[in-house]
């Protein structure tokens, strides 16, 4: 397990080597150090080694390749996942896609075409592809929904599914998990043509070809035909506990013939991304970008993703007592403060610390 941390450290060193100067290396090191504090406020003015203006220029102005940083990180992720790919039957690669809003208030002249209102929330709307395979949890890619009249969230999700690297898709059985907003006819048919399976939430008002609605069904696991869809799907449902304690019936369909209990189990797995959204925002401040350019915002989001990945790898490297494992299993909430601290202390040893670190 210790080798995971070594690989995380090597990844950071490789990213630093992509910077065009020692000065930019120090800036990247400082930004990653701020994110890995996981306090929820890694703003440039909180850095103790670099000025806020220097870090602002690093994000918004300086010429370093964000694309190369992303490509290098992805190649390392793929290498790590495939190194533990078991022989025999292909394991599942869960591709969970959902939309989250990074809420913003006030005027943003530079982002007029990006800041929009969706479901009553104003801000930057990200459609995120989150990969789950074995013990790995990876925020893989994102697209920005630009408002009405542009590509819909479902169309953006389809682009991300189609862009998944063949190195992953050929080694795993791909199971795409999406919410109701993505269960369009176009999305279901396009993904199915790629010979990939889908578990999609659907509205209780969705119509069958015989005129009935999904809410009128009484047998889980049955095959049915949705209006406008060229192939049959299989339906099930489960009960989701809301914040007020009440239970809400959620319907899901599968493009693969599965038992009703299996379809429901897969349907519940989609909620894993909701936990990641909370962690990314409250620990790794995905939503607190305060940059003045689109490039600065983009780089902020990318560095937030990478910081989470480093903390996740540190979490996988940690040895747990039996009591700790039981606690994690009961809450399904890792201690991200501790994981981020482990990543920070390993990647940036005391002699090279670029920011103070307070243990959580």
pLDDT at 320 over 60: no
Full-model pTM: 0.88
* Domains of the chain, each with CATH number or no CATH: 1-84+294-360 (no CATH), 90-282 (3.90.350.10)
- Which of 167, 174, 171 lies closest to 85, judged by CA? 171
pLDDT at 329: 42
pLDDT at 353: 43
* Residue pLDDT, tens place only, 95-150: 999 999 988 776 666 677 788 888 888 888 999 999 999 889 999 999 999 888 88
Q: Quick one: pLDDT band at residue 317, thresholds 50, 70, 90?
A: confident
Q: Where are the beta strands (DSSP E) in 154-207?
A: 173-178, 197-202
Q: How far apart are CA 284 and CA 346, in angstroms?
A: 18
Q: How far apart are CA 80 and CA 7, in angstroms?
A: 8
Residue indicated by tokens 């890792």: 334
* Residue pLDDT, tens place only, 204-237: 999 999 999 999 998 999 999 999 999 999 999 9
- 33-59 b/e (C-beta count within 10 Å ≥ 16 → b): bbbbbbbeebebeebebbeeebbbebb
User: Could you tell me which residues come within 8 angstroms of residue 259 by beta carbon, excluding any fewer than 6 positions away?
Assistant: 221
pLDDT at 186 over 60: yes
Cα first-last separation, the chain: 23
């Amino acid at each position: 397990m210790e080798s995971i941390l070594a690989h995380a450290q090597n990844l950071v060193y490789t990213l630093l080597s992509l910077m065009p100067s020692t000065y930019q290396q120090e800036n990247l090191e400082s930004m990653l150090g701020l994110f890995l504090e996981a306090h929820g406020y890694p703003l440039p003015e909180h850095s103790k080694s670099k000025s806020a203006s220097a870090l602002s220029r690093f994000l918004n102005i300086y010429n370093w390749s964000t694309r190369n940083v992303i490509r290098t990180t992805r190649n390392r992720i793929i290498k790590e996942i495939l190194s533990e790919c078991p022989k025999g039957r292909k394991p599942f690669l869960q591709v969970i896609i959902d939309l989250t809003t990074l809420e913003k208030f006030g005027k943003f002249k530079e982002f007029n075409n990006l800041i929009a209102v969706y479901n009553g929330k104003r801000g930057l709307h990200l459609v995120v592809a989150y990969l789950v395979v074995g013990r790995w949890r990876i925020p893989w890619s994102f697209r920005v929904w630009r408002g009405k009249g542009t590509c819909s969230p479902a169309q953006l999700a389809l682009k991300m599914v189609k862009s998944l690297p063949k190195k992953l898709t050929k080694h795993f059985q791909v199971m795409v998990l999406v919410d109701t907003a993505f269960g369009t006819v176009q999305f279901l048919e396009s993904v199915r043509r790629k010979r990939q399976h889908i578990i999609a939430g659907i509205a209780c008002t969705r119509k069958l070809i015989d005129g009935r609605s999904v809410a009128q069904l009484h047998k889980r696991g049955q095959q049915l035909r949705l209006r406008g869809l060229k192939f049959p799907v299989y339906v099930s449902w489960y009960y989701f506990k809301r914040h007020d304690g009440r239970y809400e019936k959620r319907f899901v369909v599968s493009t693969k013939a599965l038992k009703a209990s299996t379809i429901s189990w897969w349907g519940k797995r989609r909620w894993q991304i909701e936990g990641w959204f909370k962690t990314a925002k409250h620990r790794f401040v995905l939503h607190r970008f305060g940059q003045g350019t689109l490039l600065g915002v983009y780089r902020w989001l990318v560095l937030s993703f990478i910081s989470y990945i480093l903390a996740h790898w540190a979490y996988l490297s940690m040895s747990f007592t039996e009591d700790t494992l039981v606690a994690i299993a009961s809450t399904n909430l890792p201690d991200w403060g501790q994981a981020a601290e482990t990543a920070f202390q390993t990647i940036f040893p005391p002699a090279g610390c670029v920011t103070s670190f307070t243990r959580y």
